[in-house]
Structures are given as C-alpha cells and as structure tokens.
C-alpha cells in the first residue's frame, strides 16, 4: 500500500494530485524550484523539497534530484503529473531502481509510445523523410513531450530548415530532447481523443471520447466529453484503435490516444503515456477519480471488467494569463483575485496574491462544468466564467466566453482551424461603456473622507482611464445629494460597489483597484495620470518587449545599419517555455540594436529601433 506520494511536478496538476491523496489518507511531498518557493503546490503539501535553480532544465527536468528528494522526504511512490518527466522512461526506471513505486505505465511502454516516431511505427504509420512541394503543408513535431512545444506548421518549402531548427531548440528546452519529425498536416480536422485506463491483470478500459479541437499554438483551450457528433461506428473504431495501442505495449495506468478526425475517418496522432490536462471532463461524465484509479493500479489492484457508463456532458476551459489579440503573448504579474461562482469545478495552482512568473506555462486554472446535456454544460461554463473575478494580468477569459457562445462551437461544427478563422471577431474589444464611470465614482468615494461634497459650486471632476486600448475621460460632480453624472443616475456608490441607471436599466458594478489597475465586473481599466509621463515615449519604429523573458536568438547577420523588411523576424524571446518571434514593424533600416542573446528583459524594454525608409 502506498503511504506517501511525491509529485514530480508543479502548479495545478500537483495541487490536483495532492487533493486526491488527502482524500485517501496518503501523505504528500512537493518539489519546488527557486521561482516556486512560495507557490501553492509547495505550500499545501505535507512536505516540500527545494530543487535549486529556476529553469525547468535545472529543476523539474532533473530526475536525479527528484528521486533524491523522494528518498529524503520518506516518500514511497512518485507521481509525475503531466509534462516535464511524465513521459521519460529513464526517470521511471530511476524511480523503480530507488525502491519507489512508479505511478504510471511501465518504462517499456513509455519508451515505445513517448517517441511519436516509434508510436507511429507501432501503428503502421511512417513519418515523412523527404519533404517536397507536393507534401505541403507539413507539421514539424517534437518526438518527445507535447503541449504544442516543438511544433511548427510549414506551408513553404523555403521555411522548412528554419522551422526545423526552431522546433529542435524549443523541444530541447522544454523536454531535454531535441528530436523532431515531419508528418502531413491535415487542415481543419477535429482533434478527438480516447481516455484509456489499464491494470496489470489484462483489463483495458476505453473511458469515452473527448473533443479538443479548439487550440491555439497547438495547445488545447477548450475540451469536452463526450466528443459531439460522432457516429457509433466511428466511436467504435476510435475505441478499438485506442485499446489496440494500449495492448501493443502492455500498457498499465492512465493514458490517452489522440486522433485527427477528418472526412469521417480517424487518423492516429500519438499516445500520451500520462494523465492529460483535460482529464477532469472524463472524470465528470464517468463519475470517477482518475488519480485515485492510477494509485489503485500502481498498488496492483484489478479494475472492474467493464468501465463505468458516461452520464451527461462536461466542458473544460483553460484560463491563461495571455493576450490572445497580441499573438497569445503570455502575461506576468500579481494575481490579486481568482474566484468563480459555485456550481463548476476549478482546478488551479494559484491563490489570491500569488505571482505569475516567466519560467513556466501561463495557465492559471481549468474551469469545468458538468450538466445533463451539452447545451446546458456550455451555458453553465460560459456564465460562470463571465461572472468570475479574475483580477491581475490580462487573461483569455473574454475569449473563452465568446468561444463557448460562438455558433460554430454551440452547433458542434468546430475544428482545429477555429481560431485561425475567428480570432479577430473573438478578440474585438467590447468593454462596458459605463465601466470608467463606475471606476471613477468608486475611486471618488474611496478617496474622500467626507463623501467629497463642498458647500461651493463645484466644477466637474475629471478622471482618465485606458480601456481596451483607448483613452476614456469621465466627468462627474459632488453635490448635496451625492455623486452625479450627466445622463446617468447614480443609485449607489461606494469604494467597492456602484449601481448606475441608464435609459431605465439599473446595473451593478463591483469595483476593485490595485494600484493603477481597476477591475469593474469583467472589464479591466488602467487609471491614467492627469499629465502624460514624457519618459515613457519612444521613437517611431521602436520594438518593445511584449513580455518579460530572455533573448535567445538574434537574426543572423543583423547589425545596426542592416536593411529590413516589415514583418521580417529580427530576434526571438523565450518566455514561459515558448519562443516568441519579434519582427520588424516597418520596412527600413535597423538604427539601434539593444538586444543580445542571453539578456533578461522586462515588459516594455527597448529591444531595437527600425527607421522607416
């Protein structure tokens, strides 16, 4: 029997595994990097062991240090979570060699399936060795790991070598393995997967399907179970292929077999020999705890002959600290508040007041809704996200709400090209026009000791806010009867709640302010000073860092005086385990180059200047 589990991971998945362990009376051990010293997963575990360093290569990818931590803390089992070393056969063997229980599949199964190239060979599929124009578009993919890292779509043969190099570098950074391969890229297919669970006694469950077609940068954004609109015969084919893949490698534990569904056919993609990020939707519809079942299998228990029946529908949305309208750029900073209404499940690795750093994935939480029907589950999740308090850096919350309510998604007609087609409309600014007034009135009340009224004729008070990229000026007055604004009736105003009535409709506005950042319901604003700060001005053509990170590469041969074309890649930043390309804003000449490889930069740092010709 397992008594204490070390989770070789961080953040949301570590917290989620700890929750099940506590429910089963199992002790917990966390590992944490220097960047995660105060992270939630390190705080909630029974014991925590430091991994010196900040980058994944120094910490969560150091299997030797993690095994030593498990032994030192008295753990008798290791759960890898997802990502990092979860699909590393060498790490699984090291855990077993140390006399610890590995909560995952046998190392041989990981070895066979963790390499995408070998997995395809097992399923009778050969990758492309030589790419020609006739093969385009193609997908460059990391052989180890997942999560969209080390993955590139190539549409022009001339771009292949550069994209191969970029994919190798990103895969090596994320997984410690730079091997990549090339396969045909199927446009606008559906990403459908089957959750499997196998014991060591020969039983393999297919626990239903999931649809994960809504993706950005090859990373899933919204997932659901079961996958809508599949025929019975296609579903049966998916189950058969998934079970065949599991039996081919004598699989044990939880895993996922992924497919691309196009033209009514299922095309095998890969098998993930670990727990998936989106496993909660399967748990919801099947009424199981997959982590608890992983623990039971690791202890040698047998599964029931037949899997549980699915009931209802579940939808999951991943809440990221990112700017979807700006190339999905990750965001950092203090998460002041994260709260969702009752009735949905929230899996997260953050609590109020935690900092979102630059070293790891920007996912804040997963919100999951379960209901008798798909329509009800979608409505429940969209409504909960819309009313959630997410105070801090910019997030994809509005994008999630709009995606869930988009007619293509509600009708079940989505595919992996969804965001390619609809991103502009899904990210078009639509702030509440009364939000600046509510912010100003709450601020006026909060800063005024006596309510702000003076026994003199009062000029309008003026405040300025930045909202959705535009400046908004607000005017209001202090009177004997309280605060007033032209054309709007102020029903109530205090530092946290403002009630306004316009055109006969009364609305409530909850207001929270953190420095110059103001959150009014779901609208975020920035309070502006009365006079602009001239030191914040930059010359035209300036390239500013869109996020904090590290300069990893500068384009070959790029020096001051080089002629550049608009859109030409000039340098690359690495932030949150992803590379981000910085391009020339105009056609002209590079007049200034501040960025050098290895340099740490903050948001707004001046990287270079291009003078327009």
Minimum mean pLDDT range among 60-69, 258-267, 272-281: 258-267
Catalytic residue numbers read 274
In the chain, % of residues over pLDDT 70? 95
Give per-residue pLDDT as tens, 71-124: 999 999 999 999 999 999 999 999 999 999 999 999 999 999 877 777 878 887
In the chain, % of residues over pLDDT 90? 73
Do the Cβ atoms of 28 and 22 come closer than 8 Å? yes
Pairwise pLDDT comparison (435 vs 602), residue with the higher score: 435
* Structural fold of domain 113-184: Dna Ligase; domain 1 (3.30.1490)
Q: Which residues pair with 195 in a beta bridge?
A: 256
Question: What pLDDT does residue 171 have?
Answer: 85
Question: What pLDDT does residue 175 have?
Answer: 76
Give per-residue pLDDT as tens, 34-44: 999 999 999 99
Nearest Cα residue to 46 out of 68, 74, 71: 74
CA atoms within 13 A on the CB side of 250: 6
Domain 534-612 architecture: Beta Barrel (2.40)
> Residue 449 pLDDT more than 70?
no
Question: What pLDDT does residue 101 have?
Answer: 98
Question: What pLDDT does residue 188 have?
Answer: 79
146 — pLDDT class (breaks 50, 70, 90) = low
Residue with tokens 């959750």: 195
Minimum mean pLDDT range among 144-153, 235-244, 313-322, 502-511: 144-153
Number of other CB atoms surrounding residue 29 within 10 Å: 24
> Residue 450 pLDDT more than 50?
no
Give per-residue pLDDT as tens, 548-600: 788 989 998 899 999 999 989 999 888 766 678 899 988 999 999 999 998 88
453 — pLDDT class (breaks 50, 70, 90) = very low
Give per-residue pLDDT as tens, 123-143: 877 777 789 998 898 989 887
Rounded to 5°, the CA angle 83-72-254 comes to 30
At a CB cut-off of 8 Å and minimum separation 6, what does 19 contact?
A: none
> Can you give the residue ranges of every domain in the chain?
4-103, 113-184, 190-426, 435-528, 534-612
Q: Which residues pair with 48 in a beta bridge?
A: 30
> Burial of 455 by CB count in 10 Å (0-12 exposed, 13-18 middle, 19+ buried)?
exposed
Task: Average the pLDDT over 298-302 and give the result.
Answer: 98
> Residue 447 pLDDT more than 80?
no
> Residue 452 pLDDT more than 50?
no
Number of other CB atoms surrounding residue 523 within 10 Å: 22
Q: Cα–Cα distances in Å, from 506 out to 269, 488, 498, 499, 593?
A: 52, 10, 10, 7, 53
Question: What pLDDT does residue 110 have?
Answer: 95
Question: What pLDDT does residue 284 have?
Answer: 98
> Residue 150 pLDDT more than 90?
no
> Residue 373 pLDDT more than 60?
yes
Question: What pLDDT does residue 220 have?
Answer: 96
Domain 190-426 architecture: 2-Layer Sandwich (3.30)
Minimum mean pLDDT range among 217-221, 409-413, 527-531: 527-531
Share the mean pLDDT of the chain. Answer: 92
The CATH number of 435-528 is: 3.30.700.40
> Burial of 273 by CB count in 10 Å (0-12 exposed, 13-18 middle, 19+ buried)?
buried
> Residue 448 pLDDT more than 70?
no
Give per-residue pLDDT as tens, 477-493: 888 777 888 889 999 99
> Burial of 97 by CB count in 10 Å (0-12 exposed, 13-18 middle, 19+ buried)?
exposed
User: In angstroms, rounded to a whole number, what is the distance separating the alpha carbons of residues 320 and 317?
Assistant: 9
Which helix (H) or strand (E) element contains residue 378? helix 374-387
> Residue 455 pLDDT more than 80?
no
Domain 4-103 architecture: 3-Layer(aba) Sandwich (3.40)
Give per-residue pLDDT as tens, 334-354: 999 999 999 999 999 999 999
> Residue 416 pLDDT more than 60?
yes
536 — pLDDT class (breaks 50, 70, 90) = low
Task: Average the pLDDT over 499-510 and give the result.
Answer: 96
Calculated CA dihedral for residues 475, 477, 481, 486, nearest 10 degrees: -40
Give per-residue pLDDT as tens, 111-123: 998 777 778 788 8
Give per-residue pLDDT as tens, 376-388: 999 999 999 999 9
Minimum mean pLDDT range among 95-109, 119-133, 318-332, 360-374: 119-133
Do the Cβ atoms of 502 and 489 come closer than 8 Å? yes
């Amino acid at each position: 029997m397992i008594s204490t589990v070390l989770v070789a991971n961080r953040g949301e998945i570590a917290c989620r595994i700890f929750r099940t362990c506590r429910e089963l009376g199992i002790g917990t051990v966390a590992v944490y990097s220097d960047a995660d010293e105060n992270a939630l997963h390190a705080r909630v575990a029974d014991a925590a062991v430091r991994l010196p360093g900040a980058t994944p290569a120094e910490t969560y990818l150091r299997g030797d240090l993690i095994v030593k931590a498990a032994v030192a803390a008295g753990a008798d089992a290791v759960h890898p979570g997802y990502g990092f070393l979860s699909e590393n056969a060498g790490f699984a063997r090291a855990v077993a060699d140390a006399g610890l229980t590995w909560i995952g599949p046998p190392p041989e199964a990981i070895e066979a399936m963790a390499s995408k190239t070998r997995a395809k060979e097992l399923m009778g599929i050969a990758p492309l060795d030589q790419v020609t124009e006739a093969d385009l578009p193609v997908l460059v993919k990391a052989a180890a790991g997942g999560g969209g890292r080390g993955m590139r779509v190539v549409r022009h043969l001339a771009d292949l070598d550069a994209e191969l190099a970029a994919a190798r570098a990103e895969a090596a950074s994320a997984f410690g393995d730079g091997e990549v391969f090339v396969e045909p890229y199927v446009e606008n297919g559906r990403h459908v997967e089957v959750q499997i669970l196998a014991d060591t006694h020969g039983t393999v469950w297919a626990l239903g399907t999931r649809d994960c077609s809504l993706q950005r940068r090859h990373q899933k954004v919204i997932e659901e179970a079961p996958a809508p609109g599949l025929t019975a015969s296609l579903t049966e084919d998916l189950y058969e292929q998934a079970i065949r893949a599991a039996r081919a490698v004598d699989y044990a534990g939880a895993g996922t077999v992924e497919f691309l569904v196009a033209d009514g056919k299922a095309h095998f993609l890969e098998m993930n020999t670990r727990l998936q990020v989106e496993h909660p939707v399967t748990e919801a519809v099947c009424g199981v705890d997959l982590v608890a079942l992983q623990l039971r299998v690791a202890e040698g228990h047998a599964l029931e002959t037949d899997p549980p029946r699915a009931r209802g529908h579940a939808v999951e949305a991943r809440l990221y600290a990112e700017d979807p309208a700006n190339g999905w750029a990750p965001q950092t900073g203090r998460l002041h508040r994260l709260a969702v209404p009752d009735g949905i499940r929230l899996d997260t690795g953050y609590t109020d007041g935690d900092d979102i750093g630059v070293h790891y994935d920007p996912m804040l939480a997963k919100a999951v809704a379960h209901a008798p029907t798909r329509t009800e589950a979608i409505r429940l999740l969209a409504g909960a996200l819309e009313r959630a308090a997410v105070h801090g850096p910019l997030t994809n919350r509005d994008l999630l709400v709009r995606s869930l309510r988009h007619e293509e998604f509600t009708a079940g007609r989505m595919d992996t090209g969804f965001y390619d087609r609809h991103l502009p409309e899904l990210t078009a600014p639509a702030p509440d026009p009364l939000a600046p007034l509510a912010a100003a009135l709450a601020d006026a009340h909060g800063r005024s000791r006596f309510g702000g009224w003076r026994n003199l004729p009062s000029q309008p008070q003026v405040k300025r806010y930045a909202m959705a990229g535009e400046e908004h000026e607000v005017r209001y007055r202090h009177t004997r009867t309280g605060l007033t604004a032209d054309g709007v009736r102020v029903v109530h105003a205090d530092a946290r709640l403002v009630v306004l009535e316009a055109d006969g409709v009364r609305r409530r506005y909850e207001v929270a302010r953190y420095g110059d950042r103001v959150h009014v319901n779901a609208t975020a604003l920035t309070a502006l000073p009365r006079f602009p700060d001239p030191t914040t001005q930059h010359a035209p053509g300036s390239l500013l860092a869109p996020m904090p990170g590290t300069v990893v590469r500068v384009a070959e041969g790029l020096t001051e005086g080089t002629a550049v074309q608009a859109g030409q890649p000039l340098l690359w930043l690495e932030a949150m385990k992803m590379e981000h390309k910085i391009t020339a804003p105009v056609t002209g000449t590079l007049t200034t180059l501040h960025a050098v490889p290895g340099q740490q930069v903050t948001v707004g740092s001046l990287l270079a200047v291009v003078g327009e010709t």
